[in-house]
Amino acid sequence: MAEKVFSLWVFLLLLHPVKPADVATPLLDGFSSGFSAAGNNLTLDGVAAVESNGVLQLTNYDTTMAPGHAFYSNPIQFKNSSGEVMSFSTSFAFAIIPQPGKQGGDGLAFAISPAKGIPGANAGSYIALFNSSNDGNSSNRILAVEFDTYMNAEYGETDNNHVAVDINSIKSNKSAQVPFNLTSGQVIQAWINYNSPTNQLDVRVAMDSAKPSSILLSDKVNLSEILNESMYIGFSAATGLFTSSHYILGWSFNMNGEAKSLNLSQLPKIQLPSATGTKKNRKGLIVGVSVSCALAVILLSALTFYIVRRKKMADAVEDWEHNIGPHRFPYEELKKATRGFKEKELIGSGGFGRVYKGILPNSDTQVAVKRIPQDSKRGLQAFISEVATIGRLRHRNLVQLLGWCRREADLLLVYEFMPNGSLDNHLFDEPKSILSWEQRFKIIKGVASGLLYLHEEWEKTVVHRDIKAANVLLDSEFNARLSDFGLAKLYEHGSNPSTTRVVGTLGYMAPELTRTSKPTTSSDVYAFGALLLEVVCGRRPINPTASSEELMLVDWVWEKWAVGAVLDVVDARMEGKFDEAEAVLVLKLGLICSNDDADVRPSMRMVVRYLEGELELREEVAMPYKKKGRGDGGGRSTVEFEDYTQSFPTTSSVYDVGGRHIEESPLW
Ligand SMILES: *[C@@H]1O[C@H](CO)[C@@H](O)[C@H](O)[C@H]1NC(C)=O
Ligand SMILES: *[C@@H]1O[C@H](CO)[C@@H](O)[C@H](O)[C@H]1NC(C)=O
Ligand SMILES: *[C@@H]1O[C@H](CO)[C@@H](O)[C@H](O)[C@H]1NC(C)=O
Ligand SMILES: *[C@@H]1O[C@H](CO)[C@@H](O)[C@H](O)[C@H]1NC(C)=O
Ligand SMILES: *[C@@H]1O[C@H](CO)[C@@H](O)[C@H](O)[C@H]1NC(C)=O
Ligand SMILES: *[C@@H]1O[C@H](CO)[C@@H](O)[C@H](O)[C@H]1NC(C)=O
Ligand SMILES: *[C@@H]1O[C@H](CO)[C@@H](O)[C@H](O)[C@H]1NC(C)=O
Ligand SMILES: *[C@@H]1O[C@H](CO)[C@@H](O)[C@H](O)[C@H]1NC(C)=O
Ligand SMILES: *[C@@H]1O[C@H](CO)[C@@H](O)[C@H](O)[C@H]1NC(C)=O
């Protein structure tokens, strides 16, 4: 037989009592008796679940940063005997319901994958299709048609309501805005057709049972080069900081033929959790019991009163808190996650508060919980409105804020957990292992890319204000992730409004800050320059114990540069194993960024282009720095900095304008 025809029907709706005749398929038997039973043909992972009425729920809006996959358990032959992908067709019905009162996130996708699921993929903007390390790698062999409900400017997206073709990367090959609201909660049908002879991949959508004639999105791609012979098909969805419940209500697929359209009126109905359901019922029960038993009445109602009062005091949500974007965690959940904020779970402490490691009870997600005490309600309010902004920042080189919580005057911020801690722990003192040059260069490029996003790629300019090694965290693959962005600003909000405080860290603070106390993107670039030198040299920007010529790292590097011996400064612990051209590039960039004159420092856009090799860093670029007459005290407020060093021989402190030590800054 030359042509092998495969035809698959997956009707999750067949449990529906109105159509008993359809319940005959083995697939449905599997669903009705849970997923361990024989005949179950769907493989689920993440938070995906099939409800008793046959609705496949990929994610729920109560769980942030959660992936959900559902794949047909049997592999499908995609290529014919001449090794070419055959024509196929699929249609499915879905619905997306955002968390009530919030913007939804992140979307769902039909996916063709080499595995029964997509192991290792990230939630959030990756829609559980890819992760930060494999994104764009052609060995992924993943084709996805995504329905994206969150705009990620970093992937070049321009709206939060589009369908797109993704091949091996979340950066879409082609996308089209959907003419109706994907997050309306209404059932939407999608049709995807691949025509092998023409290499045409077409997508249609409608809120209707009948297949529309007009094609919404069409991409020409030869899938024979992308897919393997045997592949799995299924669905992927994820929530991020913003969340939606993603549902699939029915699905059909056909190889070498047209998939049958679904009749929307025959699909199972989504059962929404009743508005404030369970809690209310429980209260009702308590009241009922207390009325029935005379003796218990007094006791119980007193107890109820006590509990309700305690609860109110503990977690009371005030009006102004309702419009805060990011997920608001119940205090009890965070308490449980950190085992009651146990000392043992403490992973850092400093100016902004203490940081605890935690495991969210519902999803087993590791998180870092930062607890920031506030002294005034007014400060707290400003603080929390900033949190809304921070929560919307998303980039693979930023530590994602997952949510927040307020309890009385304490603000709790919940972040992704970074298993490799902060960069300073890998550079200074006695690190457990020495970072290789490849790791260092990747970290530098990561920080640059994260900072560029904050400065230029987000809708507003965000000045980090406290770039330093302690605020660069490392994920499991040693990718750099900036933390504490925006917090320095919050810190000002929270403080006494009559004093202006410069928040920054000695050695990273641009000289103009001591005069203007107005942080700018350029003062961030200055601090980034100090960071570059540190990463290459493995030294802090100020070394109080070093000889006077090595005291200020930037001066020392500059002097070595001037005498043509700049490679002498490279961290000796790498034992000479580094790329000389890259090291010279980074050192040179470090010096240029550390220019005392704010106007000649490059923008982060330029920095990234130099680092990526798109622009050549010519000798002249460094010249303005040289002309300043280094070494004779000209231009730079060296004296002030030395004053600081003598009084406070630590680089990780927060200073006010007068140089008075305020408090230790966070380690984490
Ligand atoms: C489910 O899988 C079994 C074998 O694993 C197969 O016999 C059956 O046809 C499949 N059902 C559907 C609907 O594909
Ligand atoms: C990314 O996914 C791959 C599988 O494709 C996995 O091996 C890797 O560990 C994942 N990386 C991260 C950082 O999760
Ligand atoms: C792509 O992934 C493969 C397999 O995981 C890996 O060997 C290869 O180095 C990756 N390529 C790039 C450019 O990251
Ligand atoms: C688009 O598809 C091709 C495969 O045909 C791939 O190589 C390319 O990198 C894809 N991505 C983008 C963003 O164009
Ligand atoms: C889409 O529908 C949701 C839910 O009703 C609503 O919150 C949202 O504002 C709508 N979006 C647009 C662009 O109309
Ligand atoms: C395999 O598919 C390609 C593209 O549709 C077609 O040109 C070719 O004739 C097919 N080969 C066989 C053996 O059917
Ligand atoms: C698709 O790619 C395969 C393998 O590279 C090639 O043999 C085939 O001719 C291509 N098909 C079309 C229609 O371009
Ligand atoms: C896909 O096919 C390529 C080449 O045939 C092979 O090297 C690779 O291991 C396959 N990938 C998977 C995930 O099966
Ligand atoms: C869809 O199902 C309804 C009732 O089950 C039926 O009345 C209607 O004709 C069907 N529509 C199509 C297009 O098959």
Cis (ω within 30 of 0) for the bond into 106?
yes
Mutate to test the pocket of ligand 7, among 141, 200, 221, 224 (most ligand atoms within 8 A of CB): 224
Task: Please report which helix (H) or strand (E) contains residue 396, including its range.
Answer: none
Q: Of all protein residues, whose CA lies closest to atom 3 belonging to ligand 9?
A: 265
CA of 14 relative to ligand 1 center, distance in Å: 15
Q: What is the pLDDT of residue 495?
A: 38
In the numeric block, which tokens belong to residue 400? Answer: 């994602």
Mean pLDDT of 59-82: 90
Please determine, for residue 98, whether its predicted confidence score (pLDDT) is greater than 90. Answer: yes
Q: What is the pLDDT of residue 646?
A: 27
Starting from the CA of residue 200, give the closest ligand.
7
CA of 656 relative to ligand 4 center, distance in Å: 50
Tell the CATH topology of 20-266: Jelly Rolls (2.60.120)
- Chain centroid to Cα 241, Å, comes to 8
> Residues near ligand 5 with C-beta < 6 Å?
181, 183-185
Cβ 195 under 6 angstroms from ligand 7: no
Q: Which comes out higher in pLDDT, residue 456 or 549?
A: 456
> Residues near ligand 1 with C-beta < 6 Å?
8-9, 25-27, 41, 74
Counting atoms of ligand 4 from 1, which one is nearest the CA of 221?
A: 5
Choose from 302-316, 543-557, 588-602 the range with maximum mean pLDDT: 588-602
Please determine, for residue 232, whether its predicted confidence score (pLDDT) is greater than 60. Answer: yes
* Alpha-carbon distance values, 658 to 492, 501, 633, 644, 655 (Å): 15, 9, 21, 10, 8
Among the listed residues 205, 138, 185, 189, the one whose alpha carbon sits nearest the alpha carbon of residue 166:
138
- pLDDT band of residue 403 (cuts 50, 70, 90) is confident
Q: Of all protein residues, whose CA lies closest to atom 3 belonging to ligand 1?
A: 39
CA of 39 relative to ligand 1 center, distance in Å: 6
CA of 186 relative to ligand 6 center, distance in Å: 40
Instruction: Tell me which of 466, 475, 484, 524 is the catalytic residue.
Output: 466
Mean pLDDT of 173-197: 94
Cβ 81 under 6 angstroms from ligand 6: yes
Q: What is the dihedral of CA 294, 296, 297, 301, to 10 degrees?
A: 180
Task: Report d(CA 649, CA 642) in Å as an integer.
Answer: 10
**Contact by Cβ (8 Å): 38, 73:** no
In the numeric block, which tokens belong to residue 330? Answer: 């119940």
Task: Report d(CA 618, CA 498) in Å as an integer.
Answer: 46
3-state class (DSSP) for residue 78 = coil
Task: Report d(CA 182, CA 187) in Å as an integer.
Answer: 9
Starting from the CA of residue 130, give the closest ligand.
2
Query: Across all residues in the chain, what is the average pLDDT?
Result: 77
Q: Which comes out higher in pLDDT, residue 309 or 93?
A: 93
CA of 183 relative to ligand 5 center, distance in Å: 6
Among the listed residues 133, 119, 125, the one whose alpha carbon sits nearest the alpha carbon of residue 154:
125
570-626 residue pLDDT tens: 999 999 999 999 999 999 999 999 988 888 899 999 999 999 988 887 765 544 444
Among the ranges given (242-246, 376-380, 571-575), the one the predictor scored with the smallest mean pLDDT: 376-380
> Is 466 a known active-site residue?
yes
488-519 residue pLDDT tens: 555 443 333 333 445 567 778 888 887 777 88
Q: Of all protein residues, whose CA lies closest to atom 4 belonging to ligand 5?
A: 184
Cβ 476 under 6 angstroms from ligand 2: yes
143-162 residue pLDDT tens: 999 999 988 777 777 788 99
**Residue that has been written with the tokens 């006494």 in this structure:** 496
CA of 15 relative to ligand 9 center, distance in Å: 17
Mean pLDDT of 348-353: 68
Cβ 198 under 6 angstroms from ligand 7: no
Q: Which amino acid would we find at residue 141? A: R
Q: Which comes out higher in pLDDT, residue 60 or 490?
A: 60
- pLDDT band of residue 85 (cuts 50, 70, 90) is very high
Cβ 171 under 6 angstroms from ligand 4: yes
Mean pLDDT of 255-276: 78
Among the listed residues 166, 174, 78, 173, the one whose alpha carbon sits nearest the alpha carbon of residue 129:
166
Q: What is the pLDDT of residue 166?
A: 97
Cβ 137 under 6 angstroms from ligand 2: no
> Residues near ligand 3 with C-beta < 6 Å?
137, 139
Planar angle of CA 449, 527, 496, nearest 5 degrees:
110
Beta-ladder partners of 79: 85
Mean pLDDT of 174-198: 94
Q: What CATH number was assigned to the domain covering residues 319-416?
A: 3.30.200.20
Per DSSP (E only), the strands in 312-437 are: 327-328, 346-350, 353-359, 366-373, 401-407, 410-416
Counting atoms of ligand 9 from 1, which one is nearest the CA of 209?
A: 13
Choose from 370-374, 424-428, 533-537 the range with maximum mean pLDDT: 533-537
CA of 82 relative to ligand 6 center, distance in Å: 6
Q: What is the pLDDT of residue 330?
A: 86
Among the ranges given (56-65, 67-76, 182-191, 345-354), the one the predictor scored with the smallest mean pLDDT: 345-354
Q: What is the pLDDT of residue 363?
A: 73
**Is the domain defined by 424-666 classed in CATH 3.40.190.10?**
no
Q: Of all protein residues, whose CA lies closest to atom 7 belonging to ligand 7?
A: 84
3-state class (DSSP) for residue 562 = helix
Q: What is the pLDDT of residue 488?
A: 54
| Structural domain boundaries in the chain | 20-266, 319-416, 424-666
CA of 173 relative to ligand 4 center, distance in Å: 6
Cβ 197 under 6 angstroms from ligand 6: yes
Please determine, for residue 226, whether its predicted confidence score (pLDDT) is greater than 90. Answer: yes
Cβ 196 under 6 angstroms from ligand 6: yes
Please determine, for residue 15, whether its predicted confidence score (pLDDT) is greater than 70. Answer: no
**Contact by Cβ (8 Å): 45, 235:** no
> Residues near ligand 9 with C-beta < 6 Å?
209, 263, 265-266
Q: What is the pLDDT of residue 296?
A: 45
